[in-house]
Amino acid sequence: MKKLALHWKILIALCLAFMVGLWANFSTENISEKPTWFYNIHYFSNFFGTLFLNALKMLVIPLVMTSIICGVARVGKDKDFGRLGIKTILFYSLTGLLAVIVGILCVNFIEPGQVEPEIREKMLSGENKIDSGKLEQAFENADNGWKGIFEIFQRMVPQNLFKAAVEGQLLGLIFFSLLFGFFIARLPEKYKSTQLLFWEGLNTTILSVTNLVISFAPYGVFGLVTPTLMKVGVDTIFVMGKFAATVLLGLCIHSFIVLPILLAILAKIDFRKHFRAMFPALLTAFSTASSSATLPVTLNSITNRAGVSKKISSFTLPLGATLNMDGTALFECVVVIFLGQLFGIEMSWVTQSTVVIMALLTSIGVAGIPSASLVAIIVILHAVGFPQSIIATGVGIVFVVDRLLDMSRTAVNVLGDSCAAVIIGKSEGETGYYFGKQNQSK
Ligand code: ASP
């Protein structure tokens, strides 16, 4: 009998998680003391979910370092390195800009902040569902206003590489690995071949461990999504109806119209094939709400399923997982304008342009972890002059629906990175994608 493909298994796991999670949520909705079976399901699914998430996170640092070092050392020549770098940054800026434009258009057109007084009441009373610790932390990290933007760029050069790695600050690690790989390519032949052999060996080993971890993805996805839905449910989405719908519509337009058009025009690629190839990564992003934790799966899907060479993918994807966040940038724009509408704050086109620029800049520095964009949103709200009291209430309101929207925007973040990899790969002369054969690094 033919074995079921991984993406089908993950999809089945996701459907089961929705069924179990929502059933448990609805059937215990009005009970303050939950029955024992509720805690048991929560505990066991959470156990497997956390195990999977930990395994993915465990791989991120060695994978990012070895992939970038090998990728850049392979790119080698100054000319190639510069060309790839410029293409990557240009593409990321283009898709980020398109995403915020989609967000701004949707939020101005739908006006989710213009709500009936009762619904407004309901939104304000949603605060009891907020994890206040998380919210406080977001405020602590964000009270620097514009300075926050410069800090992002400062973090690119960490004082201590190991500390940056321990704290999960990928940006510093990426910068160091880029430099390291760049200078390996310039070593005398004797040293260069030894270094290349060492890092390639390490990279291949980590990739094998990654394959093993990914084979558990269906269980991991079930374990991550079930407890989330048991606690959050989808009812929060309905309370925040118009706002959540605006974000989801924007994300859909970006994923199913904007990116497919770019794939078709720039690389003559049918987006359905691309989606099918990236399915495991997209579903993992949705389940974990973390593009950094999804990176091992994204790298695996883009090389083994889409067929992009390691040379291109190991350069573009780790960069994309930290720098390129289309879904996040779109979300930030929608939130800020929505809160302006909700609290009756005039948002002139000059203010809206500031929001666009800040959303683009802050999305570069947002970490690829759950709810990270709330920090950026606080920075933007400060910068465009929202009073402190409104910022606290406003971010609290958004936090109520954040988890499900976070899962969706993280999937879009990963989709944007993967589109960059295939488009840049094609532009570098790679062919035969999506036919199960990986392009070899030249
Ligand atoms: N969770 C998102 C990511 O990891 C970041 C965010 O928008 O909060 O890509």
Tens digit of each residue's pLDDT (9 = 90 or more) over 84-104:
888 998 999 999 999 999 999
Distance 293 CA to ligand 1 centre (A): 10
Task: Please work out whether the CB of residue 413 comes within 6 Å of at least one atom of ligand 1.
Answer: yes
Q: What is the pLDDT of residues 267-306, one digit of tens each?
A: 888 999 999 999 999 999 998 889 988 999 999 999 988 8
**Between the CA of residue 57 and those of 134, 155, 244, 291, 382, what are the distances in Å?**
20, 20, 29, 10, 32
Backbone angles phi, psi at 268, to 5 degrees: 50, 45
Does a structural domain hold residue 426?
yes
Residues 6+ apart with CB under 8 A from 392: 139
Does a structural domain hold residue 196?
yes
Nearest to 225 by CA among 366, 408, 399: 408
Does a structural domain hold residue 420?
yes
Does a structural domain hold residue 385?
yes
Nearest ligand 1 atom to the CA of 321 is: 9
Task: Please work out whether the CB of residue 370 comes within 6 Å of at least one atom of ligand 1.
Answer: yes
Does a structural domain hold residue 1?
no
Does a structural domain hold residue 434?
yes
Range(s) of the domain holding residue 346: 6-441
**Between the CA of residue 357 and those of 90, 100, 102, 403, 438, what are the distances in Å?**
16, 9, 14, 25, 38
Tens-digit pLDDT string for the chain (442 aa) = 567 778 888 889 989 988 888 888 777 777 777 778 878 888 888 898 899 989 988 888 888 889 889 888 877 666 777 888 889 989 999 999 999 999 999 999 998 888 777 666 666 665 444 455 655 666 665 555 556 666 666 777 888 888 887 877 777 888 888 889 889 988 898 898 899 899 989 988 988 898 899 889 899 889 988 888 887 666 656 657 788 899 999 999 999 999 999 999 998 889 999 999 999 999 999 988 899 889 999 999 999 888 898 888 888 898 888 888 999 999 999 999 999 888 888 888 888 888 998 888 888 878 788 888 888 888 888 888 888 778 888 888 887 778 888 999 999 999 999 999 999 998 888 877 775 556 655 4
CB 286 within 8 A of CB 49: no
Q: Which of 409, 417, 418 to mutate to test the pocket of ligand 1 (most atoms within 8 A of CB)?
A: 409
For the domain that residue 298 is a member of, what is the CATH number?
1.10.3860.10
Number of domains in the chain: 1
Does a structural domain hold residue 260?
yes
Distance 212 CA to ligand 1 centre (A): 25
